[in-house]
């Protein structure tokens, strides 16, 4: 196809995709030199106007001429707002690429632009479009999620960026897939009671996570804990925590002191099964040494379970049954489970790994939605 004559103009009335024009050059340069673009794309760095000229007069036309990359400018409110492209990998599959001018971010422009691009690509017979982004590019991931992409594995060192190979998230969308999220993106709500606050984990909690990871008591009861043993390992750990929530796999809260907001432990829901409003989930928890012996985790477990059963003002998960497993020897954890309203219903033989190797029995506790709320004393 010839550039710009054969480049179609696609619009939904708010956002328009069209061929790049010479008048776009100043805003192309602004976009390419914006720190978020530098951080998350392979745009040359440093970037001069001559790079933009080369891109619009050589690279883009060549992509269209060889039917290898179909690049469009995004226009919004009369201004160049960014670029999207469909990079063909053979006849029927393509990769999507996108970036916005900083002035156009935060207003839903990219979602509209990608909807137009995907309609056009699928309309031409493309069967699957895939997305790859550097790990940590949450804005990009959120857009792919909203558009109905299915997320695949994180692949180490998959994507090059200025001479380095970086880890990447992956996802795909089929031609007939609905353009809506495949699964919920869980967000831990802030819940408070009895001097305890449940809130999302954040980077500033790193030292507390490392202290917990290296605590002998925690390691005795959870020898296979994925907690970070060093500060360097904290960002990757937190990314896994947030991806767990974004993929409807695991919802973890930091249990913090409501007065100081300092982290005292963790409570999490995972192993979701069955349909929404009728689901079963497992509950897990651990305490930082400073959070033990004060009733903190009992309050946290009550907050998390009440929310999961849909009993809080903050909404809930619609769970029907929650269960937890704790070593038969872990008296403190068993008392805590009972105080939070869980009932001992059985034993799972040989399912708790031991720090010294081998396995022991787990006590199985559960709670049903129809049961009374746990007493608060």
Ligand X SMILES: CC(C)(COP(=O)(O)OP(=O)(O)OC[C@H]1O[C@@H](n2cnc3c(N)ncnc32)[C@H](O)[C@@H]1OP(=O)(O)O)[C@@H](O)C(=O)NCCC(=O)NCCS
Interaction of residue 173 with ligand X, rule CB under 6 A: no
Residue 16 as a binder of ligand X (CB under 6 A): the answer is no
Q: Least distance to ligand X from the beta carbon of 354, Å?
A: 38
Cα separations (Å) of 316 from 107, 146, 275, 320, 348?
28, 21, 14, 11, 29
- Nearer to ligand X among residue 120 and residue 185 (C-beta): 185
Q: Count residues binding ligand X (CB under 6 A).
A: 20
Binding to ligand X in span 24-43, by CB under 6 A: 36-37, 40-41
* Residue number, 56 or 140, with CB nearest to ligand X: 140
Say whether residue 98 binds ligand X (CB under 6 A): yes
Q: How near is the Cβ of 31 to ligand X at its closest, in Å?
A: 8
Residues 6+ positions from 12 with CB-CB distance below 8 Å: 112, 115, 116
Q: b/e map of 109-145 (b: 16 or more CB within 10 Å)?
A: bbebbbbbbbebbbeeebeebbbbbbbbbeebbebbb
CA 347 – CA 68 distance, rounded (Å):
59
Ranges within 261-280 binding ligand X (CB under 6 A): none
Shortest approach of ligand X to residue 39 CB, angstroms? 7
CB of 104 to ligand X, least distance (A): 7
- The residue (of 108 and 184) whose beta carbon lies closer to ligand X is 108
Footprint on residues 319-338 left by ligand X (CB under 6 A)? none
Query: Judged by CB, which is closer to ligand X: 120, or 134?
Result: 134
Which of 105, 150, 240, 344 is close enough to bind ligand X by CB under 6 A? 105
Residue 120 engages ligand X in binding (rule: CB under 6 A): no
Interface with ligand X in residues 135-154 (CB under 6 A): 137-140, 142-143, 146
Q: Residue 337 to residues 91, 343, 345, 351, 368: CA-CA distances in angstroms?
A: 57, 8, 12, 18, 13
Stretch touching ligand X by CB under 6 A, among 130-138, 225-233, 268-276, 346-354: 130-138
Residues that bind ligand X (CB under 6 A): 36-37, 40-41, 98-100, 105-106, 108-110, 133, 137-140, 142-143, 146
């Amino acid at each position: 196809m010839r550039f710009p004559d054969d480049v179609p103009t696609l619009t939904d009335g708010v956002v328009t995709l069209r061929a790049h024009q010479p008048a776009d050059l100043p805003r192309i340069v602004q976009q390419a030199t914006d720190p978020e673009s530098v951080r998350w794309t392979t745009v040359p760095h440093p970037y001069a106007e001559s790079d933009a000229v080369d891109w619009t007069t050589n690279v883009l036309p060549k992509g269209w001429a060889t039917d290898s990359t179909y690049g469009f400018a995004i226009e919004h409110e009369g201004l160049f707002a960014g670029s999207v492209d469909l990079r063909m990998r053979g006849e029927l599959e393509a990769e999507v690429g996108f970036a916005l001018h900083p002035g156009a971010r935060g207003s839903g422009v990219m979602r509209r632009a990608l909807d137009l691009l995907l309609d056009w690509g699928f309309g031409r017979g493309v069967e699957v479009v895939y997305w790859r982004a550097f790990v940590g590019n949450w804005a990009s991931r959120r857009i792919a999620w909203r558009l109905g992409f299915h997320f695949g594995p994180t692949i180490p060192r998959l994507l090059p960026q200025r001479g380095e190979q970086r880890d990447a998230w992956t996802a795909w969308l089929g031609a007939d897939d609905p353009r809506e999220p495949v699964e919920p993106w869980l967000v831990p709500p802030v819940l408070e009671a009895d001097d305890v606050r449940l809130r999302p984990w954040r980077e500033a909690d790193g030292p507390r996570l490392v202290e917990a990871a290296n605590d002998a008591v925690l390691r005795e009861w959870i020898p296979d804990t994925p907690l970070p043993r060093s500060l360097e390992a904290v960002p990757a750990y937190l990314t896994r925590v947030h991806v767990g929530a974004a993929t409807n796999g695991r919802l973890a809260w930091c249990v913090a002191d409501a007065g100081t907001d300092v982290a005292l432990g963790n409570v999490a829901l995972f192993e979701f099964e069955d349909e929404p409003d009728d689901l079963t989930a497992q509950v897990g928890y651990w305490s930082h040494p400073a959070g033990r012996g004060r009733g903190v985790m009992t309050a946290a477990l009550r907050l998390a379970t009440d929310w999961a059963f849909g009993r809080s003002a903050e909404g809930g998960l619609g769970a029907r049954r929650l269960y937890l497993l704790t070593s038969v020897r872990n008296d403190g954890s068993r008392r805590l489970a009972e105080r939070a309203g869980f009932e001992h219903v059985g034993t799972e033989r040989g399912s708790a790994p031991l720090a010294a190797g081998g396995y022991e029995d787990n006590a199985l506790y559960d709670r049903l939605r129809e049961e009374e709320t746990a007493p608060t004393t």
